[in-house]
Structure 1
Amino acid sequence: MQLPMMRSFTQFLQSARIATVRLQVPQCACRFSTSRTLLTSTTDTSSSIPNFDRYNALDNPRILITGGLGQLGPGLAKLLRKKYGEDNVILSDIIKAPKHILESGPYVFADILDPKNLQQIIVNERIDWLIHFGALLSAVGEMDVPLAVKVNIEGVHNVMELAKRYKLRIFIPSTIGAFGPDSPRNPTPDLTIQRPRTIYGVSKVHTELFGEYYHYKHGVDFRSLRFPGVISAETTPGGGTTDYAVEIFEDALITGKHVCYLRPDAMLPMMYIDDCLRGVVEMLEAPQEQLKLRTYNIAAMSFSPEIITDAIRKHMPHFETEYKPDSRQDIADSWPQAFDDSRARNDWGWTHHYDLDGMVKLMLELKRKFMKLDLPQTKAART
């Protein structure tokens, strides 16, 4: 006999909540804007309670970046804050942030292995998009496989479940390491056999398939890009097999000589960081109907240590590279030599801006600046 009364009370609460949200006026770092339109869920018909996370967040999304103090997080946060507002992009990690990070915008502690901690941030900050960068890279992962399993697999489970619960658009990067020696290497297409031989690669294949499953089973807006080696002047290498392509510039400027842990002919796909970050933003913003895949290859160039050494010598003729391959060469031998990213170019308009010569010139200029080296000007800096 009390059921009709309870149902009426629920309907009353729903009406009150809708009115409260619609009447809220932006103040300071307010979470809603008057231009946002609320949408009710179109997939869950079992409940009449409005879904407050399904409003049109593209106009001004609230974004959380986990694992944000790695190579990509700070730069992506800067780019997104310029587009969507400083207070709408929250950088997070489990380590103490340096002063310049704290001064650049919101930063919080977020442990991807603690779902309650993540849930609290998502709810309190009304997050719309979740960008998950937390992972151990290839060479580091091989040194501590149990930790890599926890971070790279359990962490993905945690963020994906929260994306399902709160209807988040979620981006998790994949990698060239998701392929193995049985994959075609030159070029490697989006859809092909994937049998990686590192825990990093295994965890990324798991991420791709897990994300697709949650998309088709639960409607989660999962998006991913397979990154090649990413080259940046501002960040410290984090233990990846392609990190020589960053270290080589520091050595060129400091000592004029680089000792490479790969063979001179070890060809791998690479990309300058500005192209990489722009690719993330463009895919996040792409309309759902344009995405024929949930995971795409993207690339810009392929080169070997020998090729990039020759490119640096155009600016520093006396630069030398010595080759002492180690266990990372075995990893490189199982990876693609070149990516076929034609699907990304055709489906949502991906294109790169930096080729090898342009990247080398810019890296020498920026490395000198960030390392504050009092060295003679290179040809690149003079032109």
Structure 2
Amino acid sequence: MRTIVVTGALGQIGTELVPYLRERYGAEQVIATDVKAAPDAEEAGPYAALDVMDGEAFYEVVQKHRADTIIHLAALLSATAEAKPLFAWQLNMGGLLNALETARQLGCSVFTPSSIAAFGAGVPKLGTPQDAPQRPSTLYGISKVSGELLCDYYYLKYGVDTRGLRLPGLISYAAAPGGGTTDYAVDMYRQAVSSGSYTSYIAEGTYMDMMYMPDALESIVRLMEADPAKLAHRNAYNVSAMSIEPGMIGAAIRKQLPDFRLDYCVDPVRQAIAESWPDALDVSAAEEEWGFRPQYDLGAMTADMLRELRLRLPQVPPVKAG
């Protein structure tokens, strides 16, 4: 990667990926884009307002900056997609098609994230294989499976260098929850610092794969820099760092904040989405083909999350003695 255009740069992943890439490749070599004007973002480096559903505008941005890589993050997340299914399909698939067409015409490589939501009923919940059948029951999941297949098509038919990860829930201190089912974990850490308690919309004992954002960022770069000859599953690698449920996160938080209280008020829509996903993915293909190695477990992630959030959020006032 030399010059990189990032779509959805103001979203959950993009907020941290853009500065990560700029530190690695140079600020002027990473062009951040999102659907709205963002003066603050423009001050940090090259920025362009871009509606990814506008194919002509997409092409013009990539051509203007002579980019060789497109990291396409713009998409509607799981719970929000269920509330707006038609718009989610138009954005998630229309935007990806424009990214791929631009890449085909200009000779770019493309990264786009898939998700654990690409799986559905009928697969093993534990150790879900890399090549397990995919029958998701959500519009978000359907769009992710379709995206994987579309990227495969552009690779096989046109030779576009497409690559992707099936990302688990991503936990980050930099971005607020953004409409994903796994975002309860992010919100729990934030509420632990700001209020001392959290009410989870996901039921106790509901396991889902998670990863701390620094591991996700490193995984994206490592995959994009990998030898293409070794990539047998180039558009859909299972990746995860931990399989956890709300109570485990609460217990990890209480090791540092003993008075933290965790309650439950289950949202049936998001709970149903969570139950349709695997509990734990088999990540051996990513390990073998390009060296996937997450660094953070639950304890290390919790310590870092709380330390960073204490610097960013108002905190629970200390209890006065007596």
Q: TM-score, normalised by structure 2?
A: 0.96
Work out the number of aligned pairs and report it: 317
Partner of residue 265, structure 1:
205
- The normalised TM-score by structure 1 is 0.81
The secondary structure found in structure 2 opposite 1:187 is strand
Which amino acid counterpart does residue 278 of structure 2 have in structure 1?
A: P
Structure 2 match to 1:229 = 169
Whichever of the two has the greater Rg, that structure is: 1
User: Is the 2:193–2:314 contact (alpha carbons within 8 Å) kept by the matching residues of 1?
Assistant: no
Q: Which amino acid aligns with 1:199?
A: L
Superposition misfits of 4+ residues, deviation over 2 angstroms: 372-376
Q: Paired residue for 1:167, among 75, 84, 107?
A: 107
Residues 181 and 333 in structure 1, CA contact (< 8 A), matched pair in contact too: no
Match of 2:116 in 1: 176
Name the CA distance, whole Å, in 1 between partners of 2:317 and 2:301: 20
Q: What are the Cα deviations for residues 85-127 of structure 1, in whole angstroms up to 9, with x where unaligned?
A: 111100000123252x222111101111101101111111111
Aligned to 2:241: 300
**Counterparts of 1:157 and 1:304, CA distance in 2:** 35
Counterpart selection for 2:3 from 62, 81, 105: 62
Identity of aligned residues (%): 42
CA RMSD after TM alignment: 1.3
C-alpha distance after superposition, 1:330-364 (max 9, x if no partner): 00000011111111111111100100000011111
Q: Distance in 2 between matches of 1:201 and 1:360?
A: 28
Q: Read off the aligned partner of 1:158 and give its amino acid letter.
A: N
2:52 to 99, 112, 132: 112
Letter aligned with residue 98 of structure 2: N
Q: Which amino acid aligns with 1:193?
A: P
The one-letter amino acid paired with 1:357 is: G
State whether structure 2 residue 187 is matched by structure 1 residue 247: yes
**How much has 1:237 moved relative to structure 2?**
0.9
Matched, 1:92 2:25: no
Q: For 2:255 and 2:15, how far apart are their aligned partners in 1?
A: 31
Task: Give SS of 1:259's match.
Answer: strand
2:214 to 274, 279, 282: 274
1:209 aligned partner, one-letter code:
L
Instruction: Tell me: higher relative CO, structure 1 or 2? Use CA pairs within 8 A at least 6 residues apart.
Output: 2
Unaligned 5+ runs, structure 1: 1-57, 377-383
The answer as to whether partners of 2:240 and 2:283 remain within 8 angstroms in 1 is: yes
Within 2, Cα distance between the matches of 1:308 and 1:265? Answer: 11
Which of 204, 211, 226 is the matching residue for 2:144?
Answer: 204
Residue 16 of structure 1: aligned partner: none
Q: Structure 1 stretch 90-99 or stretch 134-143: which is displaced more?
A: 90-99
Q: Matches of 1:322 and 1:134 in 2, distance apart?
A: 33
Distance, in Å, in 1 between the alignment partners of 2:24 and 2:122 is: 41
User: 164-173 or 75-84: which moved more?
Assistant: 75-84
Q: Is the 8 A contact 1:89 1:106 kept in 2?
A: yes
Report the CA distance between 1:69 and its aligned residue: 0.5
